Amino acid sequence: MDVERTSLPGIGLRHVFTTERGRQLGVVSHRTGRRDLVVYDKHDPDTCVVSVQLTGEEANALAELLGTGRVVERLAELNRQVEGLVTEQIPISAASPYAGRSLGDTRARTRTGASIVAVVRNGQVIASPRPDFVFQGDDVVVAVGTAEGAAAVARILTSGG
C-alpha cells in the first residue's frame, strides 16, 4: 500500500492512502501533537467530508486499536517464514529486577542480540516500546531473535542475569 506524505508548511505533515474500495483516508499530524483523522470525498479527493480532531493520546489509542494488536500475530508469521528466528513471550513478575525500571536499563539488545519488540499490558499491545518505557509487574514482553538471544532476554528480565 502506498502512503503519500505531504509537508504542510506551518502545520505539520499529511499522510494519505487509498483503500481497496477507492476511499482516501488521511492523517494530518500537527506540530502541536494533535492529529486529524480525515476522510476525503470519493468523487473529489481534494474535498474533506469528515475530519475528527484527536489528541496525541487519542491518536495512540486509535493506532493500538487499528493495528498494534496484530504485532504478535505478525511476528509469529515471521517466525514461520524465517529459519532460526523465534519470538518469546516473557512475563514480568512483580519480583522481576526490571519491574519499575526502563527498557533501556536492560541493555537487552546489546547484551543478547535479541530485540524487545512489544509489551502487552492489560490486554493492550505497546509496539516498539522506547528505551524510556517502564516495565510493570504483569507485563508480557515480546522478544525476537535467535533462540539463544530470546532465552537470554528472558533470563535478564526474570533474574537480572
In the chain, the amino acid numbered 46 is D
Polymer length in residues for the chain: 161
* Strand segments (E) across 1-77: 4-8, 12-18, 24-30, 35-40, 48-54
Taking residues 39-63, report their average pLDDT. Answer: 84
Render pLDDT for 97-129 as a digit per residue (tens, 0 to 9).
999 999 999 999 999 999 998 898 887 888 889
For the chain, the average pLDDT equals 84
Confidence of residue 83 (pLDDT cuts 50, 70, 90): low
List all residues 6 or more positions away from 3 whose beta carbon is below 8 Å from its beta carbon. Answer: 15, 16, 17
- CB-based contact 104:131 (threshold 8 Å): yes
Q: Is the pLDDT of residue 145 over 90?
A: no
Q: Is the pLDDT of residue 135 over 90?
A: yes
